[in-house]
Amino acid sequence: MAIAPIEKIEIRRGMKLADYASHAALTPLVSKLEHESQSAVRAMRGRHIWMLNSTARGGGVAEMMPMMIALLRELGFQADWIVMNCDRPEFFQLTKRLHNMIHGDPGAAPDPGERQLYEDVNGRAADALAEIVKPEDLLVVHDPQPLAVGAFLKKSMGLSFIWRCHIGLDQRTDSTSAAWRFLQSYAVECERAIFSAPEYIPDYLAGRSLIIHPAVDPLSHKNRELHPIKHAGVLANAGLMPTVDPMVRPPFEHQAQRLTTEGFVAATKPDHIGLLFRPMVTQVSRWDRLKGWMPLLEGFARMKQRIHDGADAFARRRMQLVRLVLAGPDPASIQDDPEGVAVLEEICAAWQAMRADVRADIVLLALPMHSAKENALMVNALQRASSIIVQNSLREGFGLTATEAMWKSIPVLASSACGLRQQIRPGIDGIMLEDNTNPEAIAVALADLLNDPVGRDRMGRSARRQVYEEFLIFTQLRRWARLFAEWGQKRGGAK
């Protein structure tokens, strides 16, 4: 049975602006947002904002959308979230290839048949969306998958649209050029384009593009503070640590799984991971080759071979006890990432091939995606139980997992991918690797950071302040409000 080409996602009321303002540190940020949004709300009165993307689960766009829509509504905007559905796996294979090409991976330019596939899927979504939008509304299209929807609706009904592209590369290659050429005829129809870094803007969108950084919600399940009892409770309910005493909350229905030589099993087998007790180095990402999993795996293994290189007994003990946690989603639950299963299998094979003593200190976790709340709490608890968060991406559009760690006052060891450079100040908020494909460089950087606890604390404090000032939702929404005000005023204000 064919699925509907689009789906309107119900937004449950979550945190209100008053909830954020009740936190003393957030009060001035909320006040500034409310004040600056007033002119935009007046300009957009009678005009609906429609946010469109290609999935309701998995990835930063789907994660941010409920919060963004809810707060826009509270500020006084009319806003809704629409997801473009597709039951043709070849469509997501095509868009994943385009995604990788934009990030610099080699790939063949889509052929005419693939362009027809792309336009067929987008065309069905455009036809369905045309039944509910009005010409005076504003459509915001996220990423390449549904880009042509905006172009088609502009031509058919004069609907204005903004394209928010969350990916990019700070250099041009044959692959990136081919991908941008494929998208050009659709992208040039947009009123404005928004990118996460100026280096990502293709030439044909110069002059109509602006920068709005992604942001984190400080009170979301993934980022809110966890009282020590709550922190331990989440880890236990998620199956990430054993329970010793009775607990108020029942275990999560779907718990984390851990790789063993027998496959994925309960995460507390064959031994306790050691969360809250051992030093932990953690990377949480999609199972994607662009996330740099393999060099990190090898780099950590090399570092562990230097246990006796520490200058004192504490350093040696720290190196002996530290474990690496590699955590990602069950890839079968992410419909727009068809390569995830294959990448996870490669990582599992590399882990299986390691020496038993090295394998024992590398924990590979598959986090269930059935409940967005429980998944977010798992990630929050894992990050807060970490001494260092790693984001070893070969390419990174922005890297909210790094932002999340910084908000939690955890130093980040990161690649020098363009998106990460937008937020991490080297030596201030964390350490940036010059060559993140070099396991030896990763081993040295990990050892240096682990054995500098005072420096880690200092970097963590600086990182949190950086996020407070630049990368919380209030700053992001103020920038969106300015754009809405400009767009609405250009069209004569309220309708």
Using alpha carbons, select from 80, 241, 101 the residue that is nearest to residue 171. 101
User: What pLDDT is stored for residue 312 in this prediction?
Assistant: 85
The total number of structural domains in the chain stands at 2
> What are the two backbone dihedrals, phi and then psi, of residue 411, each rounded to the nearest 5 degrees?
-65, 150
Using alpha carbons, select from 196, 1, 172, 182 the residue that is nearest to residue 94. 182
3-state secondary structure (DSSP) of residue 329: strand
Q: Are residues 305 and 355 in the same domain?
A: yes
Q: Are residues 139 and 256 in the same domain?
A: no
Residue 465 and residue 424 in contact, taking contact as beta carbons nearer than 8 Å:
no
The pLDDT of 344-368, averaged and rounded, is 96
Place of tokens 């979550």: 14
Whether residue 239 lies inside any domain: the answer is: no
User: Mind listing the pLDDT tens digit for each residue in 196-247?
Assistant: 999 999 999 999 999 999 999 999 999 999 999 999 999 999 999 998 888 8
User: What pLDDT is stored for residue 334 in this prediction?
Assistant: 61
What band does 359 get if pLDDT is binned at 50, 70 and 90?
Answer: very high
User: What pLDDT is stored for residue 438 in this prediction?
Assistant: 98
Whether residue 54 lies inside any domain: the answer is: yes
Residue 334 and residue 59 in contact, taking contact as beta carbons nearer than 8 Å:
yes
Residue 24, pLDDT above cutoff 80: yes
Point out the least confidently predicted range of 99-103, 156-160, 197-201.
99-103
C-alpha to C-alpha distance for 398 and 166, rounded to whole angstroms: 8
Residue 197 and residue 170 in contact, taking contact as beta carbons nearer than 8 Å:
yes
- For 366, residues 6+ apart whose C-beta sits below 8 A from its C-beta are 256, 257, 258, 259, 264, 327, 328, 329, 330, 344
Residue 113, pLDDT above cutoff 70: yes
C-alpha to C-alpha distance for 456 and 301, rounded to whole angstroms: 21
Whether residue 367 lies inside any domain: the answer is: yes
C-alpha to C-alpha distance for 135 and 159, rounded to whole angstroms: 5
Whether residue 235 lies inside any domain: the answer is: no
Higher pLDDT, 15 or 467: 467
User: Mind listing the pLDDT tens digit for each residue in 454-465?
Assistant: 999 999 999 999
Whether residue 245 lies inside any domain: the answer is: no
Residues spanned by the domain of 410:
251-470
Residue 336 and residue 54 in contact, taking contact as beta carbons nearer than 8 Å:
yes
Q: Produce one character per residue of 152-167: b if its CB has 16 or more CB atoms within 10 Å, e if not.
A: bbbeeeebbbbbbbbb
Strand arrangement of the beta sheet that strand 138-142 belongs to = 6-9, 78-84, 48-53, 138-142, 160-164, 192-195, 209-211
How is residue 19 written in tokens?
Answer: 């909830």
Place of tokens 């540190």: 25
C-alpha to C-alpha distance for 145 and 121, rounded to whole angstroms: 9
Strands 263-266 and 257-260: antiparallel
Whether residue 189 lies inside any domain: the answer is: yes
Q: Are residues 124 and 42 in the same domain?
A: yes
Q: Are residues 192 and 284 in the same domain?
A: no
C-alpha to C-alpha distance for 379 and 234, rounded to whole angstroms: 10
Q: Are residues 60 and 190 in the same domain?
A: yes
C-alpha to C-alpha distance for 238 and 256, rounded to whole angstroms: 6
Number of neighbouring beta carbons within 10 Å of residue 492: 9
Q: For residues 301, 303, 309 and 314, what is the CA-based torsion angle, rounded to 10 degrees?
A: -100
What band does 81 get if pLDDT is binned at 50, 70 and 90?
Answer: very high
User: What pLDDT is stored for residue 307 in this prediction?
Assistant: 76
The pLDDT of 412-441, averaged and rounded, is 97
Whether residue 449 lies inside any domain: the answer is: yes
C-alpha to C-alpha distance for 76 and 74, rounded to whole angstroms: 5
Using alpha carbons, select from 179, 224, 187 the residue that is nearest to residue 204. 187
User: What pLDDT is stored for residue 332 in this prediction?
Assistant: 66
Number of neighbouring beta carbons within 10 Å of residue 348: 16
3-state secondary structure (DSSP) of residue 475: helix
Residue 335, pLDDT above cutoff 60: no
Average pLDDT, the chain: 94
Q: Are residues 140 and 210 in the same domain?
A: yes
Peptide bond into 246 cis (omega under 30): no
Residue 114, pLDDT above cutoff 90: yes
Q: How far is CA 142 from CA 51, 165, 182, 388, in A?
A: 7, 6, 17, 31
For residue 169, the one-letter residue type is L
Q: Are residues 264 and 297 in the same domain?
A: yes
Q: Are residues 460 and 484 in the same domain?
A: no
Residue 91 and residue 115 in contact, taking contact as beta carbons nearer than 8 Å:
no
Q: Are residues 479 and 377 in the same domain?
A: no
Residue 470, pLDDT above cutoff 70: yes
How is residue 422 written in tokens?
Answer: 């937008």
Whether residue 224 lies inside any domain: the answer is: no
Q: Which domain CATH number covers 278?
A: 3.40.50.2000
Burial of 490 by CB count in 10 Å (0-12 exposed, 13-18 middle, 19+ buried)?
A: exposed
The pLDDT of 259-271, averaged and rounded, is 94
Q: Are residues 105 and 12 in the same domain?
A: yes
C-alpha to C-alpha distance for 42 and 129, rounded to whole angstroms: 25
N- to C-terminal Cα distance for the chain? Answer: 40
Q: Are residues 258 and 181 in the same domain?
A: no
Q: How far is CA 465 from CA 385, 461, 470, in A?
A: 20, 7, 9
> What are the two backbone dihedrals, phi and then psi, of residue 71, each rounded to the nearest 5 degrees?
-75, -35
Q: Are residues 476 and 462 in the same domain?
A: no
Number of neighbouring beta carbons within 10 Å of residue 330: 21
C-alpha to C-alpha distance for 120 and 87, rounded to whole angstroms: 12
Q: Percentage of the chain with pLDDT > 70?
A: 96
